Amino acid sequence: MDFNDSGIDPEALSKAVLDRDDLGRRIEAMAAVDKATYMRFFHEPIRAAAAMNLALPASREHHSEPGGALRLAVESGWASMRLAEQAAFAATEPAERRRKLEPQYRIAAFLAGLCSRLALPSLALEVSVAGARWFCAMGPLLGWMEAVRARQYEITWRATPLPHERALSGFCAAFVLPKPLDLDQRVSIDLFAAIDPAPGQDGALARVVREAVARVEDADKKRLAMQYRAPEKAPEESFVDAFEHGFQQPAPRTEVTAAGSATRDPPAQKAHPDHAAADEERREDPACADLLRTLARQAERPEVRNKLSWERDGLSVPLSLLGDLGLSSEGALLLLRRAGILVKKDGRRFVISEKAGARILPQARGNV
């Protein structure tokens, strides 16, 4: 397969991806930073990610179109920042320091997500020019093509993808991250640990990025599966909708056997009642669980516990507590609402369900 990129530069590639699903506007709005900060931590790294893989696809299984590698990177960055809005990274820090760190963690989440899959195309593809082969360990594809004075490259899917090596993601990230990074030392350490995080990496930022990237990849796999299965009923919702809500499951497939009888996909098995509680806990959004755990830790302090009160509908919590934790109240309430935990917002307080409230303030409710 030949890709002629003479008319495509990183800036054009970046614009094409950012215009899709209005991602550029969404990223800029969520970042909520001044123009200089946006250019340094968002625009320029996206352009550098475009230079790394140019118009390469990411893999056979998802983001497989020309430019898919960059789309995967940008979507993963957006998704990581989206989930980071709902997490508390500096809950134990004083309020003033939390207000400084939380915006930096949103930037770190975007950068970690952006960089986490930059090596994927090299594992799935062979990229060559006149017999010379490129690999991501050689640096950005754009720079390599300029060095060999090539305007066109050829790609071939590997029969068996190369094994994943996390070190390659870190190597690619070195060409994308701003220099100097100019983030708090704690945030910088967490950022590097969250780039293509290993399964056992248990930091809060690493968990956010790992979940975000997995959801991005899964959403595109489902999109492709539905297109191949029933092209006339391909989903019309955007990537953002798919990420937020999940694709509707396709109907069971009907096939005709050689004997002419119809067969259908077997129905999904129901979970055993004894395992229902465990299954529900496993399905819980990790970001929501982190938020409840953070509130529970804060409720151990008498001055915080005194601000909480049980009402008829559930536990009443002051919105100011979210601000003290350096959280966006809008993002936290959206998370609780989607988890079915938020009962209502009443002025400067909000009420969560009794079951969720008991995880924060486990004492007896008394008379309400």
Could you tell me which residue, 149 or 334, shows the higher pLDDT? 149
d(Cα 9, Cα 236) in Å, to the nearest integer? 29
Residue 279 binned pLDDT confidence (cut-offs 50, 70, 90): very low
Q: Is residue 243 part of a domain?
A: no
Alpha carbon of 33 to those of 115, 310, 324, 342: distances in Å? 21, 38, 20, 29
Q: Is 309 helix (H, G, I), strand (E, B) or coil?
A: strand
Residue 351 · residue 317 · CB < 8 Å: yes
For 159-202, write each residue's pLDDT tens digit: 999 998 889 999 999 999 999 999 999 999 999 999 998 877 67
Asked if residue 330 and residue 202 are part of one domain, the reply reads no
Q: For residue 322, what is the domain's CATH number?
A: 1.10.10
Task: Tell me, yes or no, whether 18 lies in a domain.
Answer: yes
Q: Within this chain, do residues 217 and 297 fall inside the same structural domain, yes or no?
A: no
Question: How many structural domains comprise the chain?
Answer: 2
Does residue 298 register a pLDDT over 90? no
Q: Within this chain, do residues 107 and 13 fall inside the same structural domain, yes or no?
A: yes
- Report the pLDDT averaged over residues 101-113: 95
Q: Per-residue confidence at 27, pLDDT binned at 50, 70, 90?
A: very high
- Give which of 136, 125, 110 is closest to 46, Cα–Cα: 110
Answer yes or no: is 261 within a domain: no
Name the strand (E) or helix (H) holding 128: strand 125-129
- Domain holding 326, by residue range, is 293-360
Of 203, 222, 241, which marks where a domain is finished? 222
Beta-carbon contacts of residue 119 (< 8 Å; ≥ 6 apart):
136, 165, 168, 169, 171, 172, 196
- pLDDT given at position 67: 92
- Residue 96: the pLDDT is 86
Of residues 302 and 230, the one with the higher pLDDT is: 302
- The burial of 291, by beta-carbon neighbours within 10 Å (0-12 exposed, 13-18 middle, 19 or more buried), is given as buried
Does a structural domain hold residue 160? Answer: yes
Q: Helix, strand, or coil here: 134?
A: strand
Residue where one domain finishes, among candidates 172, 195, 222: 222
Q: What is the pLDDT of residue 313?
A: 86
Q: What is the pLDDT of residue 290?
A: 72
Question: Residue 109 — very low, low, confident or very high, per pLDDT cuts 50/70/90?
Answer: very high
Residues 44, 155 within the same domain: yes
- The answer to whether residue 129 sits within a structural domain is yes
Whichever domain contains 71, its CATH number is: 1.10.3210.40
Give the count of beta carbons closer than 10 Å to the beta carbon of residue 238. 13
pLDDT band at 253 (very low <50, low <70, confident <90, very high): very low
- Do 120 and 216 sit in the same domain of this protein? yes
Check residue 171 and give its pLDDT. 93
For residue 265, give both structure tokens: 């996909």
Residues 115 and 14 in one domain: yes
pTM: 0.66
Which of residues 222, 238, 268 is at a domain's end? 222
Q: 284 in a domain, yes or no?
A: no
120 belongs to a structural domain: yes
With left for phi above 0 and alpha for psi between -120 and 50, is residue 139 left, alpha or beta? left
On whether the CB atoms of residues 348 and 320 are closer than 8 A, the answer is yes
Provide the pairing of β-strand 342-346 with 349-352: antiparallel
CB atoms within 10 A of CB 87: 26
Confidence band (pLDDT; 50, 70, 90) for 352? very high
Residue 3, pLDDT above cutoff 80? no
Q: Residues 303-331: what's their mean pLDDT?
A: 82
Claim to verify: residue 346 and residue 211 sit in the same structural domain: no
Q: Which pLDDT score is estimated for 88? A: 80
Q: Which two tokens stand for residue 123?
A: 């594992």
Instruction: Report yes or no on 281 lying in a domain.
Output: no
